Structure 1
Amino acid sequence: MWVGADAEGQGKSMAAPAQQINFTDDKISRLIMRLAIPTIIGLSINALQQFVNAIFVGTLGAQAIAAVSMTLPIVVLLTAVGQGIGVGTASFVSRNLGAGNSLEASRGATLALALAVPIGGTITVALLLHLREFLAMLGASPTIMPAALEYASTLLFGYTLMLLNVVNGFIVRAEGNTRFSMWTMITAFALNTVLDPIFIFLLDLGVRGAALATLLSQIAAIGVYIAYFLKKRGIVRIRTSYITLSVDRIKQIAAIGAPATITSILSAVAFMLLYRAAAPFGDDSVAAVGIAVRLLTIGALPIVGFCIGSQTVLGFSWGAQDFARVEKAAKFMLSVTVQFSISFSALVMAFARPMVSLFSDSENVTEIAVPTCVAFHFFFGLFGVQYVVITLLQSLGRVRLSAVVSLARQGYLFIPAILLFPAIWGFNGLLASQALAELVAGLVALFVMLGQIDDLKGMRTRSVGDRVEGKKLT
């Protein structure tokens, strides 16, 4: 099936995209890479945007950068909501497109965007009403509080737009146009980079200027997505007439999206607990853990981007009941991510000292950071397995297993360990917490993956048998 054939008015197919993506391309590795690479670039650009913001704000002094850093948990919380809605919507859209039901895919996408508006508005109002208390709970001191309030309140006014942009990105990627999503992110990043120095320095708006630059870049991005849907660049149509509060659609989107949201929130909680556990061992230990976490993030980002970009192939093939193709795609994804994660972990462990020196010139920090990086990356080779399995389960709509795997690494495995082990074994207990959580989560994912492959083989065999039986009857 060419997702691009003119199907307006032809039953369930309904609409036609401008882009030509052959989701039945026999060369599945080529298809996956075509979809995944732009997603990796887009996510990397998004991460780079936070880095550039920090550089400009850092010139305003320690209090300014501390104020912006203090709002990071708020940003993580807000992003988690968008990712949850986006992941659930992407799974719904890709599965329905694979089944040839683009009308239902459009209705689900429209419903998700319609729900994002009141959800974003409610969260914005709730946070604005209690922003001072929330920042105080995060540890904002009286000297940091004014700048933190200024930055966070300005940013919150644009949260609904940010939420819509996240969901739009997942919808566009779900129909295969990952390049458009990538260029939209690049456009927003470029605009933000240009506006930061203008608002911060030229207009003398300080941290509020940084927030305004981000806000305007989000407005530009939403404008690009509106043009995309108005010009019918993809197969999904966004129309007000499709807005119906279907309980079944909401349940399907929420069931897949909720674990993704909870996982993101747990990641923020896990990092907070990790730094808190390191604090009693001194500032050098906190810095060392921070360096190890940065390297982990650098390694995880390409894997996450690769899997998000590949999700469309899994969901589309599952919707089309092409179980052999689902199996083939999952195995290719597993091969790529495992090779990358093992190579990255080996690289970090082999060159931990020179890598640490890029972040700190302190000898004390280096001596602590080197073994910390080694411990944190010892089982990182299993991270590729974890994320492929999570993506596969989300694409197939398997809610409970998705929750079991996605909540393991930073949730029910890591949190008890980080609360218990450092109290028993000191800093070595902190290192063991991360390593053990990575190991067990990876083994859980591997066990689930083997089960899913067996299931797919069984469904493929039954599907072939049914076709043969059908031919005999005719």
Structure 2
Amino acid sequence: MPKKNQHIDLSDQNLPSLLLRLAVPSVVGLSINALQQLLNAIFVGSLGAQAIAAVSMTMPIVVLLAAAGEGIGVGTASFISRHLGAGRELEASRGASTALALAAPIGVIMTVAMLLSLRGTFVVLGVSPTVLPIALDYATTLLPGSTVMLLNIVSGFIARAEGNTRFSMWTMLSAFILNALLDPLFIFLLDLGVRGAALATLLSQAAGICLYIAYFAHRRGIVLVRISQVSLRADRIRQLAFVGAPATMTSILAAFAGMFLYGAAAPFGDEFVAAVGIAVRILTIGALPVTGFCIGCQAVLGFGWGARDFARVLKVGKLMLSITVAFSFAYSAGVMIFVRPLVRLFSDSDKVTDIAVSTCIIFHLFFGLYGIQSFVTTMLQALGRARLSAVVSFARQGYLFIPAVLLFPVISGFSGVLASRAIAELGAGLIALFVMFRQFAEFRRRGRHIQPGIESAP
């Protein structure tokens, strides 16, 4: 097996230090990804309203591709960390190699399907005749690189699952810097417009996958990624897909939830849509560190579960929970205290500011519970508990929020729009809390009867 010279030892007994070393690069990497999207929007925005509208209308397609990659990645990361914990490095290598082998044809199939139906998709999304040609230019340049994007996402999950969150962070940072350099070159100097923005993104993704190829080729991690390790056994593929499917559906639900939320606000006027947009951005800024922290620490939970060290899993879980809850409650309180100056960063309109202030307050009333929900979802994914993971992760953007945002505005107007978000946040947090207590009780029960390393992984 490869030399373990760069990864972090997932069995390290200094848990606070271990979690921080894994989480900080993951949080930074996730923030870089968000910053890259913001940078693209800034450059494209200088081309005019039609250009930014064209890029925005392509985002649902990109979200769908990213959801597929995230689903494969989450399933693979859970598979790898659990088998590494059980000491089965060969099986972990087979899972990683198989996941990448599956991601490539899935990416090709999705690319072909989307390119063939692209014009019809834009029409369904409501793209205007003036924006349609620009959107087609952007999408037809960007979509051929979909397979590379999928491989990048899955490779990042593999690196993080074996404890190398730092390499994943540096890869995303390198891609971001390259994109930042190529955007003005292609858009303005070469006068390629939106095609230039798409091409810059495509080349930065290609650079990222080249770094991952070098990482796997030089065996800098624990798992061995090789064609010879690919195994298309149905049970192995089922394990990867079963855990990853809820993550894919959660991302898709998030995209639909955003559409329903803005659609519910639209009848009340542009100022209300702008206010909701500001509140969602501020909410997302707070959610990113929590999500990044959980993604970075997921490998420790899976490793401990695979090693059947349930006392360690419980200890890690409590530590992760305390950090995510403390941050989410502190962020929620901070937003409520400084809400008006925060909103003023996004808008200088008095009317939009007044609406956005009340919207932000309602949206953040129960954001403190997001730390619980994010942790519980991550924990269940790490343990391979796909069904329970779906129950928790679908609540916030799915079965609690969507019916509420469709019904409440009809009854209570814009107040109903705000209430739907708050109720979904509260309900999802309470569901996660209930599942967490039951899961912690199981860890205690198993820990009393099984000593670490005696039996095979669950």
TM bucket normalised to smaller = over 0.9
CA distance in 1, matches of 2:148, 2:276: 34
Asked if 1:103 corresponds to 2:78, the answer is no
Tell me the secondary structure at the aligned position of residue 157 of structure 1. Answer: helix
**Aligned pairs for 1:248-267 within 5 A:** 248-267=235-254
Contact 1:85 1:254 in 2 (8 A): yes
- Aligned residue number for residue 428 of structure 2: 441
Equivalent in 62, 68, 77 of residue 49 of structure 2: 62
Q: Higher mean Cα deviation, 237-246 or 168-177?
A: 237-246
SS in structure 2 of the partner of residue 110 of structure 1:
helix
State the Cα RMSD in Å.
Answer: 1.1
Counterpart residue number, 2:8: 21
1:141 is aligned to 2:128: yes
- TM-score scaled by structure 2? 0.98
Give secondary structure in 2 for the equivalent of 1:108: helix
Contact kept, 8 Å, 2:307 with 2:453, in 1: the verdict is: no
- Give the alignment's TM-score, normalised by structure 1: 0.95
1:225-257 deviations in Å (ceiling 9; x for gaps)? 000011110011111111221111111111110
Matched residue, 1:156? 143
Distance 1:243 1:93 in 2: 14
Query: What residue is the counterpart of 2:63 in the other structure?
Result: 76
1:72 CA drift (Å) = 1.1
Matched AA of 1:101: R
For 1:12, the equivalent position in structure 2 comes to none
Do the aligned residues in 2 keep the contact of 1:303 with 1:387 (CA within 8 Å)?
yes
Task: Give 1:466 shift.
Answer: 11
| Residues 1:204 and 2:191 are matched in the alignment | yes
Question: Structure 1 residue 16: deviation in Å?
Answer: 3.4
Report the residue type matching 1:24 in the other structure: S
How big is the shift at 1:43?
0.6
Contact 2:380–2:386 (CA<8 Å) still a contact in 1? yes
Cα distance between partner residues in 1 of 2:180 and 2:253 = 30
2:411 corresponds to: 424
Which sits farther off after the overlay, 180-189 or 66-75?
Answer: 66-75
**Percent sequence identity over aligned pairs:** 67
Would you say 1:49 and 2:36 are equivalent positions?
Answer: yes
Task: Kindly indicate whether the alpha-carbon contact (under 8 Å) linking 2:308 and 2:453 is maintained by their aligned counterparts in 1.
Answer: no
8 Å CA contact 1:19–1:233 kept in 2: the answer is yes
Residue 347 of structure 1 corresponds to which residue in structure 2? 334
CA distance in 2, matches of 1:75, 1:399: 25
Cα distance in 2, alignment partners of residues 362 and 20 from structure 1: 49
Partner of 2:214, secondary structure, is: helix
Shift of the 51–350 alpha-carbon distance from structure 1 to 2, 3 Å rule, reads same
SS of the aligned residue for 1:407 comes to helix
1:21 to partner: Cα distance: 2.2
Q: What 5-or-longer segments of structure 1 have no aligned partner?
A: 1-7, 9-14, 468-474
Higher relative contact order (CA 8 A, sep 6+): 2
Structure 1 partner of 2:208: 221
**Are residues 425 and 205 of structure 1, via their aligned partners in 2, closer, same or farther at CA, if it must alter by over 3 Å?**
same
Between 81-90 and 19-28, the greater mean CA deviation after superposition? 19-28
2:26 maps to a residue whose letter is T
Partner Cα separation in structure 2 for residue 132 and residue 465 of structure 1: 56
After TM superposition, the structure 1 stretch with the greater mean CA deviation from structure 2, 244-253 or 157-166, is 244-253
For residue 24 of structure 1, report the CA deviation from its aligned partner: 2.1
Aligned to 2:108: 121
How many Å separate the matches in 2 of 1:183 and 1:399? 30
With 211-220 and 237-246 compared, the bigger mean Cα shift is at 237-246
Instruction: Specify the code of the residue in structure 2 equivalent to 1:208.
Output: R
1:139: Cα distance to partner? 1.3
3-state DSSP of counterpart to 1:21: coil
How many aligned positions are there? 454
8 Å CA contact 1:18, 1:232 repeated in 2: no
